[in-house]
């Protein structure tokens, strides 16, 4: 039995098929660039916003094992911030998004500091309760305009160069934001920090016994996730030129759980697929007489019963078995 | 025997733990000498796991004091004692199931790099650790498994991986919670030999159910019953203690 010498690093799972991953990423990116010539850009932008939101949520549940049931607070809260600073204060869109990320990160820090002391269902319930407080603020504070929301948000000119009122320009800006957010998540998952996070997800007491103060790692993950959810929410406010109560409700927190589980939690592409599926179904069913929540509910039940790993999770499992 | 046998590395003084009126551990005084293998045994419900969790800070004592190298660690956090050189294992095999064997060991090795919060850095920055990780994996005979997920290992191999991960921190004191429980005879011999080997230059405190299993492995055996110390000493002395014989007679584990 010979040991692999130190000079040839042992190929790890995941990085072993690195070339394949690059190929898939390139193909997907090409498709995304070509998509607005085939499909309606606003629909695609909606998918991208929710996909980023779901990816941010997945960073927490899929890689840190934390089920947050209050992510709408970051998504919807950030949408209000962007809408307000862009419309009322006249900030440029890039600063509008920056403000959204900063506020979402701050909210995430507060939520995290309170919720991370508890685990499982208690963690979920604390995040839900805190997000309901944010919902109440969104309903009562004067700048959010209650039931009306902030309407007619100007898209403006990104970096003073790109006129976002052009649908294609807006689409490519949203695509760039999504790709940047996705890249950050990809990097985080494949980083020294990501390794510790996965160890905590797998076996927290053991991670503690190895000298890791797990609460701090979970808090960093929570703030990262909240910031990215905020980026998604701020972007959505620019796309639809609207920030409304819909995005801060607990149903929105539930919807992101659904998207992530449908697509496959703990896989990088799963939330993207899940978000695409849910958004597509919603807009398709909206023109029929079928009740949307019932249909999506049925799909969810079938998904949980038949393929618990989610769509992408099942596909990867199938491919993995064939390779072995 | 290792040098400085009279040197006490870990000590408990008057350690007591009460759970809502029930006294699980009562006035336990324990001294673990540096460089020895010390076993803590007792029948079910004797309080050995509680003592173990108190010593590793996963429980807080109601009364009493814990000293490590003369320093009071009674109020220290569990993650921090690991950094001081006191590393524990768990009764149910504690591996990270969906990480590879190599990654399991590497997680333990990466902390001293100081990049564990660096979410913007590539995982490739950890590849320098592979050499050391593979040495540790080789030491517990897991080399052919290095790229398998830990979840795929049979039970005995998981325990071996756990020891390799613990060794990665190069602890001065290894605290092993029933390292031989649930193993077949073949695995017991191999793992006992492994414990003996790794104890050559460190201190081991292990909790076990069975007196016979630890007989030839330990330098000192402490027998607990109903939360109190019943007897202490080398196997020859402890096994002839009439109270110990009586305590074990009932359960048939002598």
Q: Which of A17, A206, A268 to mutate to test the interface with B (most CBs of B within 10 A)?
A: A206
Does residue B237 contact residue B230 with C-beta atoms inside 8 Å? Answer: no
- Which of B142, B140, B135 is closest to B191 using CA atoms? B140
Strand duo B37-41 + B220-225: pairing? parallel
Predicted pLDDT of residue B33: 92
- Is the Cβ pair B147, A187 closer than 8 Å? no
A316 touches chain B (CB under 8 A): no
For B8-116+125-251, which CATH superfamily applies? Answer: P-loop containing nucleotide triphosphate hydrolases (3.40.50.300)
Reading the block at residue B118, the tokens are 């660096």
Q: Which two tokens stand for residue B84?
A: 């001081």
Residue of A nearest to B86 (CA): A209
Q: How far apart (Å, rounded) are the C-alpha atoms in residues B28 and B23?
A: 12
- A 222-251 residues with CB < 8 A to B: 224
- Tell me what pLDDT residue A1 has: 35
Of B96, B111, B130, the CB nearest to A10: B130
A202/B126 touch (CB, cutoff 8 Å), yes or no: no
pLDDT band at A11 (very low <50, low <70, confident <90, very high): very low
Domains of chain B, residue spans: 8-116+125-251
Q: Which of B116, B128, B165 best probes binding to A when mutated, by most A CB atoms within 10 angstroms?
A: B116
Chain position carrying tokens 């949520």: A57
**What residues of chain A lie within 8 A of the CB of B143, using their CB?**
1, 3
Alpha carbon distance A213, A10 (integer Å): 29
Say what the pTM is. 0.84
> Cβ(A31)–Cβ(A24) under 8 Å?
no
In terms of DSSP H, where are the helices of A156-269? 167-189, 192-202, 204-209, 214-240, 250-263
Whether residue B98 lies within 8 A of chain A, CB to CB, comes out as yes
Would you place residue A12 in the very low, low, confident or very high pLDDT band (cuts 50, 70, 90)? very low
Read off the pLDDT of residues A22-79 as tens digits, 9 standing for 90 and up: 888 888 888 888 888 888 899 999 999 999 999 999 999 999 989 999 999 999 999 9
Q: Mean pLDDT per 10-residue run, chain B (254 residues)? A: 63 90 88 91 84 89 91 90 88 85 94 87 89 89 90 86 89 88 76 84 88 83 88 85 74 46
Sign of CA dihedral B40, B45, B51, B52: positive
pLDDT at A322: 57
């Amino acid at each position: 039995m010979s040991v692999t010498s130190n000079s040839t690093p042992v190929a790890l799972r995941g990085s072993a098929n690195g070339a394949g991953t690059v190929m898939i990423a390139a193909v997907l990116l090409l498709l995304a660039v070509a998509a607005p010539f085939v499909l309606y850009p606003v629909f695609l932008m909606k998918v991208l916003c929710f996909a980023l939101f779901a990816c941010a949520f997945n960073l927490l549940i899929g890689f840190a094992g934390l089920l947050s049931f209050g992510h709408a607070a970051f998504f919807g809260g950030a949408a209000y911030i962007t809408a307000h600073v862009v419309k009322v204060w006249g900030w440029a869109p890039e600063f509008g998004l920056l403000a959204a990320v900063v506020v979402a990160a701050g909210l995430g820090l507060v939520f995290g500091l309170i919720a991370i002391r508890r685990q499982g269902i208690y963690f979920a319930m604390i995040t839900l309760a805190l997000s309901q407080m944010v919902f109440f603020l969104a309903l009562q504070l004067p700048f959010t305009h209650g039931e009306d929301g902030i309407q007619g948000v100007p898209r403006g000119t990104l970096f003073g160069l790109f006129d976002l009122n052009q649908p294609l320009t807006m689409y490519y800006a949203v695509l760039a934001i999504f790709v940047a957010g996705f890249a950050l998540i990809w990097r985080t998952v494949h980083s020294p920090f990501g390794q510790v996070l996965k160890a905590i997800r797998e076996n927290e007491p053991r991670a503690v016994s190895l000298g890791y103060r797990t609460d701090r790692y979970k808090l960093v993950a929570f703030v990262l996730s909240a910031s990215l959810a905020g980026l998604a929410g701020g972007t959505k406010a620019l796309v639809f030129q609207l920030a409304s109560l819909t995005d801060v409700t607990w149903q929105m927190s539930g919807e992101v759980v659904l998207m992530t589980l449908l697509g496959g939690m703990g896989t990088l592409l799963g939330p993207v697929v899940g978000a695409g599926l849910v958004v597509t179904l919603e807009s398709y069913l909206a023109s029929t007489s079928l009740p949307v929540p019932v249909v999506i509910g049925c799909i969810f039940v079938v998904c949980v019963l038949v393929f618990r790993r989610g769509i992408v999770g099942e596909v990867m499992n199938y491919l993995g078995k064939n390779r072995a | 025997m290792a040098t400085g046998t009279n040197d006490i590395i870990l000590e408990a003084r008057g350690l007591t733990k009460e759970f809502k009126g029930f006294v699980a551990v009562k006035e336990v005084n324990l001294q673990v000498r540096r460089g020895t293998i010390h076993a803590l045994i007792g029948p079910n419900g004797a309080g050995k796991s509680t003592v173990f969790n108190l010593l590793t800070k996963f429980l807080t004592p109601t009364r009493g004091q814990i000293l490590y190298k003369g320093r009071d660690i009674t109020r220290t956090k569990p993650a921090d004692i690991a950094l001081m050189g006191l590393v524990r294992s768990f009764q149910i095999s504690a591996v990270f199931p969906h990480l590879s064997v190599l990654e399991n060991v590497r997680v333990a090795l990466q902390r001293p790099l100081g990049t564990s919060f660096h979410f913007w850095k590539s995982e490739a920055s950890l590849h320098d650790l592979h050499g050391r990780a593979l040495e540790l994996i080789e030491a517990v005979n897991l080399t052919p498994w290095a790229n398998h997920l830990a979840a795929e290992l049979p039970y005995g191999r998981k325990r071996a991986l756990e020891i390799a991960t613990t060794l990665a921190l190069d602890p001065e004191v290894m605290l092993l919670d029933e390292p031989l429980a649930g193993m077949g005879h073949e695995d017991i011999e191999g793992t006992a030999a492994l414990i003996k080997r790794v104890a050559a230059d460190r201190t081991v405190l292990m909790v076990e159910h069975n007196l016979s299993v630890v007989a030839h492995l330990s330098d000192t055996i402490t027998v607990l019953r109903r939360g109190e110390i019943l007897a202490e000493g080398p196997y020859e002395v402890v096994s002839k203690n009439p109270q110990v014989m009586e305590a074990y007679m009932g359960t048939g584990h002598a």
